[in-house]
Amino acid sequence: TSSSSLTSKIGFELKLKTSSIPNSGKGLFVNGDGIHPGTVITLYPGYVHSLEYLSKKDYVDKLLPDDNMMLMGRHDGVVIDGRGYGQLPFNPYALGHMINHATSEQPPNVIPTSYDFPTAGIIGKGFPVDLVKYLPNDFYQPRTFFGSPDRTALMNSIAFVSCRPIKSGDEILVDYRLHPLRNNPSWYKHYDIKESQKRWEVSDEMITKHTNNNENKINN
């Protein structure tokens, strides 16, 4: 079948089943051995929100709240909303919205990275036209010429790349790296607080001040 042929070509398939982390619902698992560091495991599906729209407060307010943490930001500020995955073409290798947060006992085996599907240009080839229908992302609002003049990207996305060897049966896990100074869910524990601080540019002094303020509120 086409599905088995695709799996044979890629070397592994992705499966959804009960997470190995208690009370975490379903998780994303790999079926297939020999996955080395640097392998693209999956993509993050959903609608793409461009910077030209995210600069408007009213636009951002409509995206919130995000109770299930399905909004995922890229380093360039583009945001992908995983809540819209069911309205876009299904891709068996675009299940990044199902990846659970790593724990101290189960470290992350993938890291997220920005990826742009290239637009066809004069030099080199872009993304194959016949495969565009399988892209798991789409712009929520069309890009405008003046708001998004750079058209080298046909579509923005996020790829999860393996950062350690992965064997068949392993659950795919990532460090969510949520903001250290915000009220995060009670179940959330920082896997690597330094990485979270680095992502959000939060200093040790800011952490200390935030902790002291919370302690003062409790004591008062």
pLDDT digits (tens, 9 = 90+) for 101-146: 999 999 999 999 999 999 876 556 788 888 899 999 999 999 999 9
Residue found by looking up tokens 């992502």 in the block: 199
Share of the chain above pLDDT 90, in %: 79
Across the chain, what does the average pLDDT equal?
A: 92
Lowest-confidence range among 10-14, 23-27, 81-85, 209-213? 209-213
Q: Tell which residue, 117, 119, 113, has the closest CA to residue 149.
A: 119
The pLDDT value given to residue 51: 95
Q: Tell which residue, 140, 39, 131, 32, has the closest CA to residue 84.
A: 140
Strands 40-43 and 153-162: antiparallel
Contact criterion met (CB below 8 Å) for 53 and 80: no
Q: Which long-range contacts (CB under 8 A, 24 or more apart) does 180-184 make?
A: 180/207, 180/210, 181/206, 181/207, 181/210
Distance, CA of 79 to CA of 47 (rounded, Å): 8
In this model, does residue 214 exceed pLDDT 80?
A: no
- What tens digit of pLDDT does each residue of 36-78 get? 999 999 999 999 999 999 999 999 999 999 999 999 999 999 9
Strands 110-118 and 13-18: unpaired
- What tens digit of pLDDT does each residue of 157-198 get? 999 999 999 999 999 999 999 999 998 999 999 999 999 999
Residue found by looking up tokens 């299930």 in the block: 68
The SS3 of residue 159 is strand
Q: Tell which residue, 126, 147, 163, has the closest CA to residue 38.
A: 163
